[in-house]
Structure 1
C-alpha cells in the first residue's frame, strides 16, 4: 500500500483523497516505488488526504488564473531527467538519482521512495532539471542545488551544492515564476522582467545579448536580465536549447536554437533576441511547455498546438514530420484541455474531465499505455487499473514528464477517514 505523505491534523468529513502515480523507467529510483523496475502503466507511489480547498500551484509556463488565488494546501509535482518531487503545503518530497546532489538531501545517493527534504520550507514552486533542481519560495526567493557545471545553479561558482542554496541575482523585487531545462534556468520577476543563467553555447538560449558565449564554466553562472524583451513577461518555459515567454495577453515570444523549428517561426534562424510568434497572434495562449526540441501551446479555448522536432511522434500529428509553425493537434480537437506537459521527447495533456492523453517516445513505457510502438505519434488515453481500495475513479489533476518516466496526481472519491 502506498505511504500516506500528508494528512490534515483534523481531517473533515469532506476531505479529498489524492494519489500520486508513476510509470516508465525506474532504474534510478525516479518512480519512487522502492525498486528499479520499469512500470508499464501508472502505479500508486503515495497517497495524500487534503482539505477540499486544496489547489494546484502554477505550473512552469502557465499564466495565473484571472481570479485571485484562494488559500489552501498546495499540491504540485515535477519530474527532472531522472528524479522526481511532490510539493505539499510548502514542503517537498524527492526521490530518484542522487548524483551531483540534485535531490538536495545533503548527499549524492539515489533514493527509491519519496523522502522529505528537511532543508527548505515555504516552497511554492519546484522545477527539476538535469543534474540540478530549482525551488521558488512564498517569499519570492529562488533556491538551487545539485551539480553546478555550466553555471546551472546561478551561484557564480560551479561547485555542486548538496542542499538548497539561495540564488542572489540582480533583481530588486520578488520572483513570481521559474522554469528550468537540463542545464539552464529562467525566472520572472513581479514586474515581468526575465532573468536567465546556465549553459550557453552561443545559441542564444539565455537571451542575454549578441556574442554572449559561455564563460569559463561553460555557461553564464550569474543570473542576468534577458535583453530585447519589449513587453513584460508573465511566464517562461525552458527547452533543450531555447526559451519561451508568455505575456499576460497570451502572446508568445521565443529565442535560442532553431535547427528543428523549435521557435515555431517558420524558419531555422536562431536568435538571442526574443521574437514574437506571429502565427499565434489571433489566439490567447495560456500555457507553454517545452521538450528537448519541441514545444506545445495551450489556448484559452482548450486547444493544443505543437511544433518543432517530430521524430519520436512528440507533436501528436500522426506523423514524425517536423512542424515549422504551431499546428493544432487534431486528435485532441474534441477535448477541452486544461494543462500540458513535455518531457524530452514525449508530450501529455490533461482534460477538463480528468482524462490524461500522452504521445511521443514510448521506448521506456513513459506513455503509461502497454503495448505501444516505440514511436507513438497519436495521442492515446492513459487508463488506470482499478484497485480494490474502495475509492472512486481516477480524476487526473496534473501530469509531469521526465526523460523516461512520468508522474500524475489524481483525485479519487472523497474519503471519510
Structure 2
C-alpha cells in the first residue's frame, strides 16, 4: 500500500474553493480570509491575530466578537449586551477574555440571535448556550439570562449536535442522525410545534419531517428552513413576506414543503431578515420573500411568495450567503467572482453587482448593515511565505528544478528531493532504480499531460485544479497508485462539476475506479434528474451491464413509479 505523507492544513468550514478560471472546478482545503476587515479586530496585534483560527462578529451594531485560537481556546470581547459574551458578568471589554469553561473543546458550529444569544456546538456533539433568554431561547427551561456558557441537555441526552442556527429569539439544532430540534420564541410558529406557545426546552420538529433526514438548517428572524437528504426544502414560522416560499403569506405552525422547488435538488439554503435563497446541485440560485431593499436580486423591490431563479445568465454558482440580521445577499461563482445585492451600506442594490472581493465574507465585512459575519469564519494567515507557499512557488520552475518529466511532448520541472519527501512511490523509485549517471528526464506515456501535471502539482500544493472530465483521469492515477487522499480530492471536483450531460459518464467512472462515495453521489444525481439524464448521449453509450444495473437500482429506489 503506497501512502502519501501529506502536509496537514487547517480544514476550512467554507464550502467554496479558491478562485480559478471559469473552465475549472477546484477543491482545496485552504481558503485565505482576512479577519481584520472587521473593525472589531483592528486593535489586536500581529501575534494575537496569528493565533486566531475561527471567528464570529455579531451584535446589533457588529460590536461583539468571539474567536477560537489554534489551541482551541475561546475568547470574547465587545459590548456584552445581555451577557452575550458569557464572561459571567455584564461588563464590556475591549480586551479579549478567555472563556475557561470552553477551553479545549473543538468548536464545529456557532451562531447568534438578535438578543443577542449564542449557541455553540462542539466536536463531541455537546451544545452550549448563553446570553439573552427572555423567550427561553437558551433551552434551559427558564427565562433568566445566561451569564456564562451552560450545557443544553434537555431532550438532547445521547444526541450529537452537529449544527446550530438562531433566529431573532428562537434556536435550532441538527443532530448527526438528521433530527431537527427547536425552542424559544414561537409567536409565529417558528419552533414548528403546531402552536404559538413559546418552547422552553429543545423539542424535536416532527410533522412531515418525522421520517426525513435533515442535512442543513437556517433561520430568518422569525422563520425556519431545513433541507433534507434528497434535496427537498421545508419551511415553517412567519411568512408575512413570503419568506417560506409557499406561494402565500400565511404563517406555518409546522414544516411545509416548498413545492416551488419541486424537481430540484437543493444543497445549500440561507435566510436573511425576511428573505431566503436556495442553491441547487446544478449551481442554480433561487430567491423568495421580502424585497424592500432588492435583496432578492430580481431587478425590482416586489416581494416574491414563491422561489424565482436569479443570476440566470451567469456561470455556475457555488456558494450563497445571507444572515437573519441583515437584508444583504451575496453569491460566489465557480470561477471565484463574488456578487452582492440588497441593502449595501444603505443603498438598495436590486440586481446582483459584481465586486472585486475574493469571498462572500468580505461583502458582509464591508457592506452589510450591521457588518456581522454570516457564518463562523475560518482563518488562514498570509503575512509570510509558509513552507507550503514556498513549495507552490517553485513548482514547474526550470531555474531551480533538477528533474523534468516529459508528457505528450511537454516538460514539467520538479525537484527530486520534494518528490522523495512527499511521495513513497518516488522515494522507492529513486532509491532502487536511480543513480546520478541516469538521464534527468522521465518519459510518461500512460497518463495525459494535464493529469500528470496536476498530480505533480498536488505534491507541491496539496490542492487539485482540473475540470471534472480530466479529474476522472486523475482518479484513475490515484486508484492505480492506491492514493486514497488524492482520490477524495478528485471526487470533490467531480461532485462540484456534475451536470446532466456528464452525470452518467461520471457514474461509470466512479464504478470503474471503485469510488463508492462518488458512485452513490452520481447515482443520486442521475435519479434526481432521471428524465434529462436518459436523454443524453452518455446514457446510451454506456456498457450494457452498467446500464442494466443502474435501471435495476433506480427501480428499487422507486424512480419509475407514477
TM over 0.5: yes
**What is the match of residue 112 of structure 2?**
128
Q: Does structure 1 residue 96 correspond to structure 2 residue 78?
A: yes
Does residue 32 of structure 1 match 2:32? no
Aligned to 1:139: 124
Larger Rg: 2
- Aligned-partner Cα distance in 2 for 1:400–1:169: 38
* Residue number in structure 2 paired with 1:323: 304
Query: Is 1:404 aligned with 2:370?
Result: yes
How many angstroms apart in 2 are the aligned matches of 1:188 and 1:414? 37
Q: Helix, strand or coil for the counterpart of 1:292?
A: coil
Distance 1:302 1:116 in 2: 41
Secondary structure of 1:320's counterpart equals coil
CA distance in 2, matches of 1:264, 1:333: 23
Contact 2:330 2:360 in 1 (8 A): no
Secondary structure at the residue paired with 1:188?
A: strand
CA positional deviation for 1:88: 4.6
Shifted more, 232-241 versus 108-117: the winner is: 108-117
> Number of aligned pairs?
343
Following TM superposition, by how much is the alpha carbon of 1:97 offset from its aligned partner in structure 2, in angstroms?
3.0
Contact 2:340 2:355 in 1 (8 A): yes
1:213 aligns with 2:196: yes
Contact 2:240–2:250 (Cα < 8 Å) also in 1: yes
In the TM superposition, structure 1's runs of 4+ consecutive aligned residues that sit over 6 Å from their partners are: 14-17
Give runs of aligned pairs for residues 380-395 of structure 1, distance below 5 A.
Answer: 380-383=353-356, 395=358
Distance across 1 between alignment mates of 2:321 and 2:168: 19
Contact 1:397 1:410 in 2 (8 A): no
After superposition, residues 342-361 of structure 1 pair within 5 angstroms as: 342=323, 343-361=325-343
| 287 and 85 in structure 1: CA distance in 2 versus 1, 3 angstrom threshold | farther
Which residue in 1 is equivalent to 2:237?
256
Residue in structure 2 matched with residue 19 of structure 1 by the alignment: 34
Partner of 1:368: none
- Structure 1 unaligned spans of 5+: 1-6, 9-13, 36-43, 51-73, 366-372, 385-394
Quote how far apart the aligned CAs of 1:191 are: 1.7
Give the direction of change, closer, same or farther, for the CA distance of 1:151–1:340 in structure 2 (3 Å limit): same
Partners of 1:263 and 1:16 lie apart in 2 by: 32
Q: 1:170-209, aligned counterparts within 5 Å?
A: 170-171=155-156, 172-201=158-187, 203-209=188-194
Displacement of 1:262: 0.9
Residues 275 and 161 (structure 1), Cα distance of their counterparts in 2 relative to 1, 3 Å cut: same
SS in 2 for 1:383: coil
Shift of 1:166: 0.4
CA distance in 1 between counterparts of 2:75 and 2:316 reads 33
Q: Deviations over 1:177-208 (max 9, x none)?
A: 2111121101112222211111111x111001
Distance 1:349 1:117, change over 3 A: farther
Task: Tell me, yes or no, if the aligned pair for 1:98 and 1:109 is still in contact at 8 Å.
Answer: yes
CA distance in structure 2 between the partners assigned to 1:46 and 1:188 by the alignment? 33
CA contact (8 A) 1:16 1:49 kept: no
Q: What is the TM-score normalised by the length of structure 2?
A: 0.55
Alpha-carbon separation, structure 2, partners of 1:48 and 1:352: 29
- Give the root-mean-square deviation of aligned CA atoms: 3.2
Q: Point out the more displaced range, 332-341 or 125-134.
A: 332-341
1:245 matched to 2:230: no
More helix by share: 2
Q: Structure 2: where are the runs of 5+ without partners?
A: 1-8, 11-28, 387-562
In 2, distance between residues paired with 1:145 and 1:400? 28
Q: CA deviation at 1:85?
A: 3.3
Output one character per residue of 1:236-283: Cα deviation in whole Å (capped at 9) or x when no partner: 111111100100121100111111101101111221111111121222
Matched-pair contact (CA < 8 Å) for 2:331–2:360: no
Q: Alpha-carbon deviations, 1:158-184, whole Å to 9, x = none?
A: 111222110112133211221111211
> 2:108–2:121: 8 Å Cα contact kept in structure 1?
yes
Q: TM-score, normalised by structure 1?
A: 0.73
Name 2:389's counterpart in structure 1: none
Match of 2:348 among 375, 392, 404: 375
CA contact (8 A) 2:285 2:317 kept: no
Q: 2:149 — aligned with what?
A: 164
Conserved 8 A contact 1:174-1:190:
yes
Q: Given the superposition, is the C-alpha separation of residues 16 and 312 from structure 1 closer, same or farther in structure 2, using an over 3 Å criterion?
A: closer
1: CA distance between counterparts of 2:309 and 2:181?
A: 30
TM-superposed CA distance for 1:326, in Å, is: 1.1
What does residue 41 of structure 1 align with? none
Measured after TM superposition, the shift of residue 115 of structure 1 is 5.1
**Contact 2:331–2:338, Cα closer than 8 Å, also in 1:** yes
Residues 103 and 274 (structure 1), Cα distance of their counterparts in 2 relative to 1, 3 Å cut? same
How far the C-alpha of 1:296 sits from its partner, in A, is: 1.1
Q: What is the aligned partner in structure 2 of residue 305 from structure 1? A: 286
> How many Å separate the matches in 1 of 2:321 and 2:222?
20
Cα distance change on mapping 1:84 and 1:156 into 2, 3 Å = same
Counterparts of 1:137 and 1:404 in 2: how far apart (Å)?
A: 27
